[in-house]
Amino acid sequence: MQELVIDKKEELVMKLLHYFITEQGYNPIVLHGAKDEIWLENLDSDYKIVRIVSNYIHNMEQYDYDAYKTKQIIKQIKKKTLSFNIDTLNIYTDLGENVKLESFDHIDCVYLNSENDIDKYDILKEYFPTLKKNLNMKEKGINLFAKITGDINKSNAKKAKASEDIFRMKKPIITYILIALNIIIYIISSVIGHNEFITMFGLEPHYVLAGQYYRIITCMFLHANLLHLIFNMYALYIIGSQIESFFNKYKYLAIYLFSGIVGALMSLIFTKSWSVGASGAIFGLMGAMLYFGYHYRLYLGTVIKSQIIPVILINLLIGFTSPGIDNAAHIGGLIGGVIASMIVGVKGKDSTSDRINGIIIGVIFIAFLIYLAFTYTH
């Protein structure tokens, strides 16, 4: 049986691919027309794009064209992922002697002919300190090929399972409970006396300043009329079901309540009149969707631009142009939803530092709103 012989350059490319996919969490990007180059993305890494180029670059003219082509593709990736800057690492494996590497705007370039060339580049040792060690594999020939393909397949299967778990719709139990609670409270208010009930539990600055702080929470479970209730509960069912599935029921409930409280505080500051409804909390769920979509923008980039952002803008526009709508609560809820999502974290994407930053921002923001609502504006 003839032993499989792998070209030195192909072996290096395979090892690099193995390292970035299995050790650094990068995913391949499918690009039509890209030949002899592999694009990898990890939007949570310092280098969000790693490009491995096995094509022979024989002179500076070809190198400049390659740089131009790279910039154009990165522009497309920026639009899709809603990113302002994408730091990219170009790894060339076959350069002519007359080619002088030049790094350009947010794109660093290195040339690796073998594993030993890693020591020439401080950026590789700084951002990928285990690269050289991981490229030093004992296996050769068909055994090396089998190990690399096997490890990559396992890594891809693990990532696919994690993504499936994130995006698989779960039963929205908390959403159902919140909808039922709002409906029950509306029925009770109708039996007791709707206006009297709102007077007892609705948001009104003078009552809150007098010490009835519970109104900041109770107001988000009251509705002005049946149409108001139906509209909000429909929105809660559509948006809430997804947010509860993407996060989990406890994080979802925390986002809902936090957003509702922030919305109520904003209403105290800017609206300064009676206010009821779940719309502040529902706008918070839109903020959570925006935060989640940004972290999974490789999957949801087009959805964010074509659906999430337009829905938010249209609803805010309606609030600004229609009388009787508490847009301050909507904007407050939206901001609160983003902050709350940062605090509770997005599965598979959040870090301890992100959550700590979210807690700090949340505490400062709530304290500032309380100061404005209870001291500065009254």
User: At 257, phi and psi to the nearest 5?
Assistant: -70, -45
Q: In the predicted model, what is the mean pLDDT of residues 349-372?
A: 91
| 306 burial via Cβ count (<10 Å: 0-12, 13-18, 19+) | exposed
User: Which architecture does CATH list for 169-376?
Assistant: Up-down Bundle (1.20)
| CA 44 – CA 105 distance, rounded (Å) | 19
Query: pLDDT per residue over 216-269, tens digit each?
Result: 999 999 999 999 999 999 999 999 999 999 999 999 999 999 999 999 999 999
Question: Catalytic one among 330, 341, 351, 378?
Answer: 330
What are the pLDDT digits (tens) for 74-132?
Answer: 988 888 777 888 999 999 999 988 889 988 888 999 999 888 899 999 999 999 999 99
Question: How many angstroms separate the Cα of 326 from the Cα of each of 199, 233, 275, 364?
Answer: 17, 17, 7, 24
Domain map of the chain by residue range?
8-166, 169-376
Give pLDDT, residue 6. 63
Q: Which DSSP letter does residue 106 get?
A: T
Q: Does the structure show a pLDDT above 80 at 342?
A: yes
What's the pLDDT at 267? 94
| 279 assigned to active site | yes
DSSP state of 95: B
Query: Of 279, 351, 353, 378, which one is the catalytic site residue?
Result: 279
Token couple for 145: 């090929």
Which residue blocks in 296-351 are alpha helix, DSSP H? 297-303, 309-321, 327-344
In the prediction, which pLDDT does 330 show? Answer: 95
What confidence tier does 337 reach under pLDDT thresholds 50, 70, 90? very high
- The stretch 315-337 carries a mean pLDDT of 89
CA angle 161, 165, 169 (to 5 degrees): 140
Average pLDDT over residues 205-224: 94
